[in-house]
Structure 1
Amino acid sequence: MTVSPKPASARERLEACLAKATDPAGEGSRVFTRLYAERARAEAEAADTRVRQGLPLGPLDGRIVSVKDLFDMPGEPTTAGSKLLRDAPPATAMAPAIARLRQAGAVIIGKTNMTEFAFSGVGINPHYGTPGNPADRSRIPGGSSSGGAVSVADGMAEITIGSDTGGSTRIPAAMCGIVGLKPSQYRVPTAGAFPLSFALDSIGPMAGSVADCALADAVMAGETPQPLNPAPLPGLRFGIPQGPLLEGMEPEVARAFEAALGRLGKAGVPLADHPLPLLAEMQAVNAKGGFAASEAFFVHQAALDSRPEDFDPLVRGRIERGRAVSATDYIFMQRRRTELIRAMDADLADLDALILPTTPIRAPKIADLAASEAAFTAANMLLLRNTSVGNFFDLCAISLPLPAGLRPGELPVGLMLVARNGQDRRLLRMAAAVERLLA
């Protein structure tokens, strides 16, 4: 008779995470901007006590969670990956999304590094260092939720919470070989999260599985977590977006994507080409200046005028583009986007999801992007290209890692499912089914 091993306690799992986070040979010093070791130990002990007494708070009780550096934690400044805010007044309250996690028993291990002010999909940070990609430490982790993705991939946390304004959970998930969720924006409160774009910011989890992302998402959304039953694959209607979202793929990404489509087709999933003419309309709106630059300039104008040298130059240049956006153009962007969100919802009504590569490229070398602004800009545009569609049209989306058997290279490749606004639970069920098929 084989006896199943006893599951490790929360305290044991936490100590394993802390050991990796504090290993001088590891990435912990670049992954975390703050570690809450002693408080986390107390939280883990409390969770273990509840389990022993048969009174767990739910399935998140005792899980080890890291949170992005842009979430308010009482008694400390929210630095958002920037040295500009190191001496900012301390937050007086915990961000509601994080408070809900803690109330559900999550053990908050620390705050994770990020692109300064969350304004790139690359993940390079000159102030706090850049965490190395788990597959190749010389390569980017993806951004802006860079440290969080590495914390999960390297075993320093079980779940991490990030923000997603143009792909900032899905891009690092794809680069680091884990799962990343961008929910419909309304689901999770953004209060207490340092803003990049009021119009586009969403709060979402990254984890090693769809089930763990669904668990964290439900808690942050104020829902009671329910078992995640994978959707039946036969009969699901997946659309393959035609046009620019499939252009410029690295050969390794294209091969991995085609292999995944082949498996889905054999599993009975109808796959149809789906034109997306509304992408041209999105580009026309963004040509006016874009929401992220406009709204980030509103947030940072005073610091840009008084302390420009303290910004990451690559981030400062992106924010400065918002200086030229007029009130007329901004109002046009808002009103036209509202119309286009309705139009995209109608366009996707006959599909269960769009399916496409999360990014058309794999993780570039850190040194190559740090040495050349042109190379950085080109890579950043490619990394954000596919994912930003979900934010502009307020859709829900998830990135799944394609396993090694589906790709010839060693670098991770992400597969993205995109569904209509409000279809988050169904998206997660579909993603769980695809995850199981590709495992």
Structure 2
Amino acid sequence: MTKHQAHDLARHPLPDLHVVRKQLSTGASTAVAQMELAIEATGSPSCKQVFIQTDVALTRRQASTSRPGSPLAGLAVSVKDLFDVAGQTTTAGSLVLHQAPAATQDSVAVARLRAAGAAFIGRTNMSEFAFSGVGINPHHGTPANPAYLDQPRIPGGSSSGAAVSVATGAAFIGLGSDTGGSIRIPAALQGLVGFKNTARLVPTEGALPLSTTLDTACAITRSVRDAILAHEILSARTVPRHPKPLKDCRFAVPRTLMLDVLEAPVAQAFDHALRTLRDRGARIEEIALPELNELAGINATGGFSAAESHAWHRKLLHDHGDAYDPRVKLRIERGASMSAWQYIELIQARHDWITRMTRAITDYDALLSPTVPMLAPPIAQVAPGAQRDDAFFRVNALLLRNPSVVNMLDGCAITLPCQTQGEAPVGLMLWHGALHDDSLLNLALQLESLL
């Protein structure tokens, strides 16, 4: 990867919500003018296959009738195709739900965004039923990662379209979900900010489930301050601002699992980020954290996603199994073989693991890891087709490896771009256990300005 093969995301950055809201408040712009820019972006080549459904007339009407001074003020927000929007059919990137009845009411996340003044630009493409970190969709096509110029590369998933909508200027917030990294993976691969909150803080009612245990409703944005605003809206709470000086912060870098088989650009960007933080006085310690090696054994029977998705899809698979993405179908059907006692033991094992992990990391302000160990590979290497299944599942496992740790921990995490100017996107993941969201977001604000 050369400097000329990747977009320079830092040289021509898109404005974030806070910049545009200030323009609205001073009269320098209007919600309608901003919406026209977003609509124009949806028709650009970079937005090809990003949206499953759009309604330009409705979007314009939402922007023009927005309440001045509301948090989102009629600005564009995209909705991942697994969230209910009143009057629209939720298909979760599939074909088998195309004839399902339209939703009668908004999901909780959509309702809160609507109440905050969002104008919904459209429903975004995704990995079918959110069951992949790669972002490939054989039914609707796969949106290309806009950070690359050399060849079409994967967007990351499962919130693939959500990320591309933000990266291209079609939306300021991409509403999505994160069950094993589905917000953070595409954000990291595209040079964006993705925040996975503690799952319990945002209700998932009205969102089609992958795993009722691990699913998290959250968002992709262009900046940390936008991530904070999106989280405040989705969680219906205020994040207190209490920045802690970096010299008083203690960070841990787990050596186990999280640093394995890093591609050279990822390792270089991660090392540079750590040096930058150390130069500013942060205390960074490498720790073993051997508990991470236990996860493969805990999830050996397929984990929560397989069992819980099979419970939801069982009848659909029986009636319409041939219409599923074969790679998704294979993973869902794995849940059929899990017995009740294995599922109960899985719950117990996770609880015990969380207890020991929490004890091991409690003295640190945050843990630092590469969000994913690789750059975005070409779509051609993992495109639909049995001859590429081995490559697909290898890439998928690598992409999910680091971020899925946080979902099992019932924790929170944020990915920030940490590549140097002109290089391909690399994500730095700050993470911790449950309900450390506020302190993590405050730390991310400081690190963003440094990185």
Letter in 2 for 1:86: H
The question of 1:28 aligning with 2:47 is answered yes
- Compared CA separation, residues 403 and 8, structure 1 to 2 (3 A): farther
- Compared CA separation, residues 225 and 278, structure 1 to 2 (3 A): closer
- Which runs of 4 or more aligned residues in structure 1 lie more than 3 Å from their structure 2 counterparts after TM superposition? 4-7, 228-231
Point out the more displaced range, 259-268 or 278-287: 278-287
Q: Distance in 2 between matches of 1:368 and 1:102?
A: 39
User: Structure 2 residue aligned with 1:384, among 367, 390, 400?
Assistant: 400
User: Structure 1 residue aligned with 2:375, among 358, 362, 367?
Assistant: 362
* Gap runs ≥5 in structure 1: none
Partner of 2:416: 400
| RMSD of equivalent CA atoms | 1.6
User: Structure 2 residue aligned with 1:45, among 28, 51, 64?
Assistant: 64
SS in 1 for 2:431: strand
SS in 1 for 2:298: helix
> What displacement does 1:27 show?
3.6
After TM superposition, list the pairs within 5 Å mapping 1:106-255 onto structure 2. 106-136=118-148, 138-224=152-238, 228=241, 230-255=243-268
Q: Distance in 2 between matches of 1:28 and 1:37?
A: 15
SS in 1 for 2:227: helix
User: Structure 2 residue aligned with 1:415, among 428, 431, 437?
Assistant: 428
> What displacement does 1:236 show?
0.9
The count of residues paired between Structure 1 and Structure 2 equals 422
SS in 1 for 2:415: strand
> What displacement does 1:74 show?
1.4
Does the CA-based 8 Å contact 2:256-2:293 persist in structure 1?
A: no
Q: Distance in 2 between matches of 1:7 and 1:238?
A: 42
Letter in 1 for 2:39: L
Letter in 2 for 1:16: L
Letter in 1 for 2:54: L
After TM superposition, list the pairs within 5 Å mapping 1:425-436 onto structure 2. 425-436=438-449
Q: Distance in 2 between matches of 1:7 and 1:117?
A: 41
Partner of 1:14: 35
Partner of 1:313: 326
Partner of 2:300: 287
Letter in 2 for 1:9: T
SS in 1 for 2:349: helix
Q: Distance in 2 between matches of 1:317 and 1:179?
A: 31
> What displacement does 1:62 show?
2.6
Q: CA-to-partner distance for each residue in 1:364-397, whole Å, 9 max, x for gaps?
A: 1111112510000000000000000000011100
- Compared CA separation, residues 37 and 230, structure 1 to 2 (3 A): farther
Does the CA-based 8 Å contact 2:127-2:159 persist in structure 1?
A: yes
Instruction: Give TM-score, length-normalised by structure 1.
Output: 0.93
After TM superposition, list the pairs within 5 Å mapping 1:259-274 onto structure 2. 259-274=272-287
> What displacement does 1:29 show?
4.0
> What displacement does 1:420 show?
2.1
User: Structure 2 residue aligned with 1:324, among 317, 337, 344?
Assistant: 337
Q: Distance in 2 between matches of 1:253 and 1:101?
A: 34
Partner of 1:298: 311
The question of 1:351 aligning with 2:371 is answered no
Letter in 1 for 2:308: E
Instruction: Give TM-score, length-normalised by structure 2.
Output: 0.91
Partner of 1:98: 110
Does the CA-based 8 Å contact 1:115-1:124 persist in structure 2?
A: yes
Letter in 1 for 2:442: R
Question: Percent sequence identity over matched residues?
Answer: 47
Letter in 2 for 1:223: R
Letter in 2 for 1:245: M
SS in 1 for 2:225: helix
Q: Distance in 2 between matches of 1:355 and 1:213?
A: 19
Letter in 2 for 1:376: F
